[in-house]
Amino acid sequence: MQEHEPQTHPSPRAPLRYRTVDIVVPAVLGVAVGVVFWLWNMLWTVTTPVFAFFPPAQALIYGMWLLPGVLGGLIVRKPGIAVLTSTAAAAVSMVLGGPWGVEIVLAGFVQGLLSELVFAAARYRRWGTPTAVLAAAAGGLAPAIWDNVRYYVTWPLSHQIAFGVIVVISAALIGGVGARLLTSALARAGALAPFPSARR
């Protein structure tokens, strides 16, 4: 097995001591992804007419918003990092003029927390693609429910169900598989040297 590939066997449990780099890197990741969020917000707006034939299908591109929490967790592999990264990205998106205001920060926190629960259930020892996909899909449950209640309450039930299912699938693919692939790419590039994710 190559050093940068996802491990098959559980890694040792993450130590609960936090170094400066364990906090700084997720914060930087959050800022970087927050800028991507800002662009993604515009993409969401301009593509809305494209999905006029079936509005729930726009959720196909939703998964980007679930990526940072999973990515931070996969890289640092310590408790709380998924929440930190997801919340930081959402805060940056808000500061840059995200159309959903402070609500997006709360959403980032909840999404990161749900992903964090999956990492915790795996005892912070399994970091392969299945764990990443489950963590992202768990985070996707929040918008699958909340967005239907908050923004799409007038949709027929069939549309709401379709939206929720597509959000979770998009989260699993973009947020889960995408974060796993990005982590492996960063490891291959030597950018994760301070973290165990660089070695397994």
Judge whether 116 lies within some domain. Answer: yes
pLDDT confidence bin for 126, thresholds 50/70/90: very high
Share of the chain above pLDDT 70, in %: 92
pLDDT at 13: 59
Judge whether 7 lies within some domain. Answer: no
pLDDT confidence bin for 15, thresholds 50/70/90: low
Judge whether 197 lies within some domain. Answer: no
Judge whether 80 lies within some domain. Answer: yes
Residue 1 confidence (pLDDT) above 60? no
d(CA 150, CA 1): 46
Residue 3 confidence (pLDDT) above 50? no
Instruction: Choose from 3-7, 103-107, 165-169 the range with maximum mean pLDDT.
Output: 165-169
Dihedral (Cα; 140, 13, 26, 113), 10-degree rounding: 30
- Reported pTM: 0.88
Instruction: Compute CA 82 distance to the chain's CA centroid, rounded to the nearest angstrom.
Output: 8
Judge whether 125 lies within some domain. Answer: yes
> 126 or 101: which carries more pLDDT confidence?
126
d(CA 23, CA 45): 33
Q: Are 14 and 77 in contact (CB under 8 A)?
A: yes
pLDDT confidence bin for 5, thresholds 50/70/90: very low
**Mean predicted confidence (pLDDT) in 38-56:** 93
Tokens (6 digits) for 48: 């809305």
Neighbour tally for 104: CB within 10 Å: 21
Judge whether 11 lies within some domain. Answer: no
Judge whether 88 lies within some domain. Answer: yes
> 127 or 3: which carries more pLDDT confidence?
127
Q: What would you measure as the largest C-alpha separation in the chain, in angstroms?
A: 51
| Number of domains present in the structure of the chain | 1
Residue 39: which of 9, 72, 11, 61 has the closest Cα? 61
Phi, psi of 2 (to 5 degrees): -70, 155
Judge whether 181 lies within some domain. Answer: yes
| Rg of the chain in Å (alpha carbons) | 17
Q: Are 32 and 72 in contact (CB under 8 A)?
A: no
pLDDT confidence bin for 200, thresholds 50/70/90: low
Neighbour tally for 24: CB within 10 Å: 11
Q: What range does the domain containing 139 cover?
A: 20-187
